Amino acid sequence: MHNHGWYRPSIPSSLMPICPIGGLGGRAHSMTYLAVCLRAGAAAMCVAAALGSSGRAEAAGAAYQVDTAEVSEPGSCKVESWASSASNRDVIASVSPACVVDVGRPVEFSAQFSRTRADGEWGTSASPKVKTNIVPTAIGSWGFAISAIASYDLLTKENTAVLVTIPATLRVSNVVRINLNAGWQLDRTVNRNYFTYGAGFDWRTPDNIWTLTGEVFGQAGYAEDRGVVEPRFQLGLRYRPVDQFNIDLIYGRNLAGERANWITLATVMRFKPAEK
């Protein structure tokens, strides 16, 4: 997930995998944490209903594709949702609920549910993801994480892709952050391996109300359609009037390897950890 709350400890049937409550220090605390997860799941269902019938496996679980090395504190949850429209009339609409759980270390469990239209054909996918921080981020030094994603086509009931990514984040200052990604992707629809990459920056105002994000990303390897292995980029502006909510307007190019221009509207709703 693309985490813009840098210095804050910032689903129906799949609620239990996303929000497990075992080993959290007592029944009362577990029940409170479950309530937080239920709120996140309910929000995800509301967003999904709003998207209706309108993602790709390669997504980082957010509208921005270049992931960060940061993971929020255990007990925190969020729901990211976005809708993208391309100049060639392709469409992507996604919702991605996530919660961070302490399983000996903070681990973020999420699942991206997407509805897409490409070349006039509709598709539906689900992409569960797990991510944990390895080296904490700090001003002037790199932090590292590792994440894994498996993508499933819900129409054909097939596993279509597997991805492993190493995100790295450098906080240049209190308001500027650089993110680099490197990874591997197995595209099972064509049985090919790709090297995945990404580089981006976040530059926010000191009050964290406005954030400018730019990124370039893609996959290297062989493809009949050269657009699939050409670089892709996005430039977006985030407005965060309160800590729990933000909205982004993003311009993108070649997001799915189709060489089209894209406009994306994205939101994030955050749920604080239960008080101990």
Is the pLDDT at 271 greater than 60? The verdict is yes
Full DSSP string of 126-179: EEEEEEEEEE--BBTBEEEEEEEEEEEETTTTEEEEEEEEEEEEEE-SSSEEEE
Residue range 120-157, pLDDT digits in tens: 899 999 999 999 999 999 999 999 999 999 999 999 99
In order of their start, the domains of the chain are: 15-271 (2.40.160.40)
Can you tell me the distance from the alpha carbon of 196 to that of 198, in angstroms, rounded to the nearest whole number? 7
pLDDT for 8:
33
Can you tell me the distance from the alpha carbon of 68 to that of 56, in angstroms, rounded to the nearest whole number? 19
HEC sequence for 199-215: EEEEEECCCCCEEEEEE
Split at pLDDT 50, 70, 90, the class of 225 is confident
Split at pLDDT 50, 70, 90, the class of 258 is confident
Q: Give, in order, the Cα–Cα distances in Å from 35 to each of 21, 75, 110, 180, 185.
A: 10, 11, 17, 35, 35
Distance of CA 260 to the CA centre of its chain: 22
pLDDT for 92:
96
Contact predicate 40/78, CB 8 Å:
yes
Q: Give, in order, the Cα–Cα distances in Å from 236 to each of 174, 207, 248.
A: 19, 18, 7
pTM higher than the cut 0.75: yes
Mean pLDDT of 202-223: 96
pLDDT for 224:
87
**Residue whose structure tokens are 């060489």:** 259
pLDDT for 256:
86
Is the pLDDT at 203 greater than 60? The verdict is yes
Can you tell me the distance from the alpha carbon of 194 to that of 172, in angstroms, rounded to the nearest whole number? 30
Contact predicate 244/214, CB 8 Å:
no
Contact predicate 37/99, CB 8 Å:
yes
Residue range 37-96, pLDDT digits in tens: 444 444 444 433 333 333 344 446 789 999 999 999 999 999 999 999 999 999 999 999
